[in-house]
Amino acid sequence: MTITIRNKISIICSVLFCGIGIISCSSQPQPVSTSGSPTSIDMTSEVVPITQATLTVTPLQTVIIPPTQAIIPIDPTIIKSIVVSDMPYHPGGGSGTMLALPGQVWTGTLFSGLQQWNPQTGDLVMTIPEIEATNFFDIEFQNNRLWVLASMDDSNQAETLYVIELPQGKIVKKIPITDEGGYGTAPTQLGNSPGKMWVNFGIVDTETLEYMPLPNGLPSDAHFVYDDEKWMWITGSWCEGCRHDLWLVNANDPSDHKDSQNSGVLDTGVLGQPLVLANGKVWLVAYYDSDNKSSYLDGYDIHRTDQPKFHIDVTSEVYDHGNANITADNQMVWIEVEGILHYFDSKIGQKMGELKVGEYVESIGFDGTSLWVLSSDAGLLQISLPWIP
């Protein structure tokens, strides 16, 4: 007997329809008679039983579509570039310095003077026109005042400490920085501890603005960092030909010097090297064995100052390029050499990477969220850090 394709389809559909109907009916509760026995159901058509052999139901496969994942950079990324100066080839304003704070960034540069920038928009907030300076060495913040170390000429040291009231931007005092004594000159950085601003031969009270000279002054070419507990750490030298070393001075009583001014490792070249506090340690770049020009990133535990806890060879990064800029965020210590930022985990002392930012970097800093770089040839750069929420 010949069965056409249409007939085959009709038969299959009938069987499936009947089967579905039977399954649907069997899922309904049977009517119950009043006599207590089940009521019989009259089936007028022959039922074709459907077994597993004659009908296989293929279950639906659940397809899981992964959610769209945002691409999170694993490396620091430059996200903003601000033109500080309109001078050709100097978008970063020429030589200068910078201070990055939460909600505000300050730059002091040769061609643009002292300026405040909005870190969110990159807009210029204000310029301090009254400041008579062309060379800017350091900017600090305390007691709602800006402290600016600067000079008018091309010398390698500052001449004046400007005290500027914020948010008005008004200069409330100019403190001359003079050469007092036979040594301890060349002030290029400020020390910032509670109630005090350290510079050259003395300390300025940040409340009264009174200058308090120190009998022995401060080390020549001094750089500072306060350990948030007691000691002001200073790199520099107190005498011609002295071993360049770390000096720890009691921030509450500057006449008290730790270990008779012989703290840290002796015979290390740290003259003029900046310091930074990170993860309970003071970090700086030190030069060992000047003939071989070996360089190390040393991290001193603030409670044990005789030897560095971390002694990381950075000769290949620093070599003989002189001073290196240094700063720190919540997780990394940053060293800048010839426009390259090298960053190290402050907990384990391991180098994590590097980032090229420009040829001539003047200053680097952290505002609590982003890293900022002032580069004379690249401008003021904001760098996003993937480990900062």
Looking at the predicted structure, is the pLDDT value of residue 26 above 90? no
Among the listed residues 183, 278, 290, 188, the one whose alpha carbon sits nearest the alpha carbon of residue 234: 188
Given this model, what pLDDT does residue 177 score? 81
Looking at the predicted structure, is the pLDDT value of residue 35 above 50? no
Mean pLDDT of 99-110: 96
Looking at the predicted structure, is the pLDDT value of residue 21 above 70? no
E strands in 274-345: 275-278, 281-288, 294-301, 310-313, 325-328, 332-337, 340-345
Residues 6+ apart with CB under 8 A from 78: 355, 357, 381, 382, 383, 384
Looking at the predicted structure, is the pLDDT value of residue 67 above 50? no
Given this model, what pLDDT does residue 281 score? 96
Residue environment code for 56-74, b if the CB has 16+ CB neighbours within 10 A, otherwise e: eeeeeeeeeeeeeeeeeee
Looking at the predicted structure, is the pLDDT value of residue 374 above 90? yes
Q: Which two tokens stand for residue 283?
A: 């970090």
d(CA 350, CA 344) in angstroms, rounded, equals: 5
Looking at the predicted structure, is the pLDDT value of residue 318 above 60? yes
The model's pLDDT over 223-259, given as tens digits with 9 standing for 90+, comes to: 999 999 999 999 887 766 666 578 889 999 988 888 6
The model's pLDDT over 7-20, given as tens digits with 9 standing for 90+, comes to: 433 434 343 333 44
CATH classification (class only), 77-384: mainly beta
The model's pLDDT over 141-177, given as tens digits with 9 standing for 90+, comes to: 999 999 999 988 766 778 899 999 999 999 999 998 8
d(CA 375, CA 84) in angstroms, rounded, equals: 10
Looking at the predicted structure, is the pLDDT value of residue 365 above 60? yes
Mean pLDDT of 193-200: 93
Given this model, what pLDDT does residue 304 score? 85
Confidence of residue 287 (pLDDT cuts 50, 70, 90): confident
Given this model, what pLDDT does residue 149 score? 94
Looking at the predicted structure, is the pLDDT value of residue 30 above 50? no
Looking at every residue in the chain, the average pLDDT score rounds to 80
Q: Which two tokens stand for residue 200?
A: 């050259």
Q: Which two tokens stand for residue 120?
A: 């969110």
Domain boundaries, the chain: 77-384
Looking at the predicted structure, is the pLDDT value of residue 386 above 60? yes
Residue predicted with more confidence, 358 or 74: 358
Looking at the predicted structure, is the pLDDT value of residue 196 above 50? yes
Given this model, what pLDDT does residue 65 score? 37
Given this model, what pLDDT does residue 183 score? 55
Looking at the predicted structure, is the pLDDT value of residue 56 above 60? no
